[in-house]
Amino acid sequence: MSESFDDIGERTMEKTLKKILTLADVQINGKRHWDIKIHNPEFYRRVLAGGSLALGEAYMDGWWDCDAVDQFIFKIVRAELDQQVKGWKKIDVIWPILKAKILNVQTKSRVRKVTAKHYDLSNKLFENMLDKSMTYSCGYWKNAQNLDQAQEAKLDLICKKLNLKHGEKILDIGCGWGSFARHAAENYNAHVVGITISKEQVELARERSKRLSVDIRLQDYRDLNEQFDHIVSIGMVEHVGYKNHRSYMKVVHRCLKDDGLFLLHTIGYNTSQVTNDPWMNKYIFPNATGPSPIQLSKAIEELFIIEDWQCFGTHYDRTLMAWHENFIKNWDKIKQNYDHKFFRMWKYYLLMCAGAARSALFPVWHIVLSKRGVVGGYKSIR
């Protein structure tokens, strides 16, 4: 019996994708922990047509598995396979870029989308995934042995970089569940205002901050107009959008005292981006992307002086793997609220980001800024 054209097409696509993956030292149905196992023969057509979005969705649907998704992602990112698998439907790649350039997708109304999609999922989910302080950003593992220590070390590193004095008033833009606010209030007797647009975060952060000099507000950063000794923003500017970087910095400038410091903790990119990875944008962080050095430099020009810029992106790999370990370990405590597809989606999210961080696709930065320069010079702390 002769083969159909569809059979020949499937074999050609399988051969093509196998050849591409070979460039990253990845095999189909191989025996190494980073090799992928295919459960649906339509996988090849789907991924070649849809690129990274289709790869993630195929994993969610159970079309493929891998013993070490993080290492698989590390290998394909390091091999720059995204340049090999652009996809036939180029409009799927071009449209998000055009939309980001034409529209401001991080307006006050649109920014609520990421809150509903991610941060308001459930406090229970994050309580069972994060460290005891519920810090949802890269830890600092220099002398840490576990996630709790790494996050406490990061929070204290920020306080030290601010040269935080007892009794000072601090603003935390994008305060999450209030971990930094509590640390600064408990250890430095600081008065901290934390703002977030997540109702779930506000509720739990207020509960956890009782009896401390901490004011947690449901507030957009654009509505701020008061003075603070120092300002921090930890893992929030990624949601601001490149069109709003300048206005964001102007808000910080007007709220920071002349002799104060601003510490920006952010995931970044080495080249300027206007959109996120298509899968991440659809399922995890809508309309979010990290800034590049040039984007940040343009935003702060004539507003701030750069005092210090530390990169510790390798620490994010270890943080994400710790979150993944907690998520898997505690899944039975929360699985009644989610289906199996969500389990695979969240697992893919954490492991994909770990592999990407390991590959140096995106660094993590601590940037210390002043309005007029530090008299006598700023002393860098590591």
> What pLDDT does residue 381 have?
93
Q: Which H helix or E strand runs over 32?
A: none
The encoded tokens of residue 298 equal 């343009």
> What pLDDT does residue 361 have?
87
> What pLDDT does residue 5 have?
37
What is the distance between the alpha carbons of residues 215 and 35, in angstroms, rounded to a whole number?
A: 49
pTM of the predicted structure, to 2 decimals: 0.89
Strands 191-196, 256-267: pairing kind:
unpaired
> What pLDDT does residue 95 have?
38
Show which residues are catalytic: 353
Closest CA relative to residue 374, chosen from 249, 262, 247: 262
Q: Helix crossing, 314-329 with 147-161: angle to 10°? A: 140
Domain 107-370 sits in CATH 2.70.98.60:
no
The encoded tokens of residue 117 equal 């999609």
> What pLDDT does residue 287 have?
84
Q: Is 59 in contact with 343 (CB distance < 8 Å)?
A: no
> What pLDDT does residue 96 have?
45
**Coil, strand, or helix at residue 146?**
coil
> What pLDDT does residue 151 have?
98
Position 55: which residue type? L
Q: CA separation (Å) from 84 to 23, 87, 136?
A: 10, 9, 33
What is the distance between the alpha carbons of residues 271 and 363, in angstroms, rounded to a whole number?
A: 11
Regions in the chain scoring below 50 on pLDDT:
1-5, 8, 87-103, 105
Residue ranges of the chain assigned to CATH 3.40.50.150: 107-370
